[in-house]
Structure 1
């Protein structure tokens, strides 16, 4: 590729970066980042209401670990480092699964015992099959467990050297791109992946956080934030629906306390025929 052509392609990418579409993707990323981080701050604050439980809940005590990964994704995204973002997303999936699994398999144990138990889990995420996702209908839980594996495998393609990773990097170079010269389409696809991962990670986090506290968090805070991004999340919204039986939410939505069937709760929400 001649130097003149390289300059032309670089100028075209720079022009794209000034377009409304590109800026909209940047803005959307900041919104989902801030909303995910806001949730974690609220959750950690609410956890003080159940101190004895929270101090030994690995999921709760690892809130800052998830927040740190979200912050890392934000930094990498701003620098145009798309591949490292996907590596961080892989870690978010793995850690979210294993923290919840450790909590559920060592129920009643102290925090140090749970940390020690992590060593026995191994490097795969096969333990996801044994997670108890009680806020979800059995069929909805299966969808989440399967999707966790699909997204994890997608992100794994960027952890080790792979044909996919190399091909994407060479394609970027061919069109004149370099670090910080991602396209609008690349950002759009990355944002979709990030939202998907955060949505699933938060759904798992809520289960480790304890459903009682999660209900208080939704009804007492998140319900008053209609623009919070993850109300539209596939799995976060399904977890939220678990708390539709709560009197406060019924009165707010319907003006009356509607009956609910405890034997058939939670209802199926996803992929219904």
Structure 2
């Protein structure tokens, strides 16, 4: 009897193969569902949610302070791109939950690029090393001009933009950490934005081992959450540096509790220490 005449499919090699593949996938899906319902996995997701919530608190506090003077919204592009930042943050979080970590990394790359470029524009477009004399035009002054300038900030100039930044709250050591982190994160995350041999080779090797996307382990979630925390630390430091530094000090003292996720991170933590001179903190030290 030919394969086409076998209506039940029993005994047909291809039918048995597909049945075995389906059964194996069902077993792995059931095991993964059990893993996702475990306390350690749920704990990893709670930690991820905390990073997202605390980043949202930071950018919302900046926006709240900006309402003191409406001109901030006319001048600072870092305030006006908040919807784009929020969308990427939420998208990255959702994709991590679904095991789609490479798309999450692409959103993180956007967060890095957008935060750094907005800071550069809000600093008055500091001169870029290597540009010929006279090439530096009048820097864009308002949001409309800064939006128009975005298309001229090509990918190949990212490192130059980072090197030209000036910091008012990050000290020399923290500024060096910022530059190293921005370049490293941008370079690493770009390998998933553009197809690369490294990531394709990794995926093929994982496939050979029987490891597929959307079947993430707890270690996978923790690793990508740590990466997101680094990205959000850089993004928040950029947002704070782009805003009025005096008002940033008013944000840090009353708004952020000691348990806020980013106070112990290298960049936001350095900005926090910049305000140790404030009288409120001196009183607390003396009282303690």
TM-score normalised to structure 1 length: 0.85
For residues 282 and 168 of structure 2, the distance between their equivalents in structure 1, rounded to whole angstroms, comes to: 21
Report the counterpart of residue 264 of structure 1 in structure 2: none
Count of aligned residue pairs for this structure pair: 254
Report the counterpart of residue 153 of structure 2 in structure 1: 121
User: Larger radius of gyration, structure 1 or 2?
Assistant: 2
Q: Deviations over 1:61-104 (max 9, x none)?
A: 22222122111112222222111000111111111110111111
1:35 and 2:63 correspond:
no
1:11-26 correspondence runs (5 A): 11-26=30-45
Mean Cα deviation higher: 169-178 or 82-91: 169-178
CA 1:250 to 1:205, structure 2 compared with 1: closer, same or farther past 3 Å?
Answer: same
For residues 11 and 41 of structure 1, the distance between their equivalents in structure 2, rounded to whole angstroms, comes to: 40
Report the counterpart of residue 249 of structure 1 in structure 2: 281
Counterpart among 154, 173, 180 of residue 139 in structure 1 = 173
Counterpart among 221, 224, 231 of residue 255 in structure 2 = 221
Deviation (angstroms), 1:253: 3.1
Structure 2: give runs of 5+ residues left out of the alignment: 1-16, 126-138
For residues 208 and 236 of structure 1, the distance between their equivalents in structure 2, rounded to whole angstroms, comes to: 13
TM-score normalised to structure 2 length: 0.81
Report the counterpart of residue 230 of structure 1 in structure 2: 262
Deviation (angstroms), 1:215: 0.7
1:86 and 2:105 correspond:
yes
Verify the 8 A CA contact 2:174 2:266 in the aligned structure 1.
no
Mean Cα deviation higher: 154-163 or 188-197: 154-163
Verify the 8 A CA contact 1:93 1:201 in the aligned structure 2.
yes
SS of alignment partner, residue 158 of structure 1: helix
For residues 98 and 108 of structure 1, the distance between their equivalents in structure 2, rounded to whole angstroms, comes to: 13
Counterpart among 214, 219, 235 of residue 180 in structure 1 = 214
Deviation (angstroms), 1:177: 4.8
Q: Deviations over 1:182-207 (max 9, x none)?
A: 11111011011000110111011100
For residues 130 and 145 of structure 1, the distance between their equivalents in structure 2, rounded to whole angstroms, comes to: 10
Verify the 8 A CA contact 2:77 2:143 in the aligned structure 1.
yes
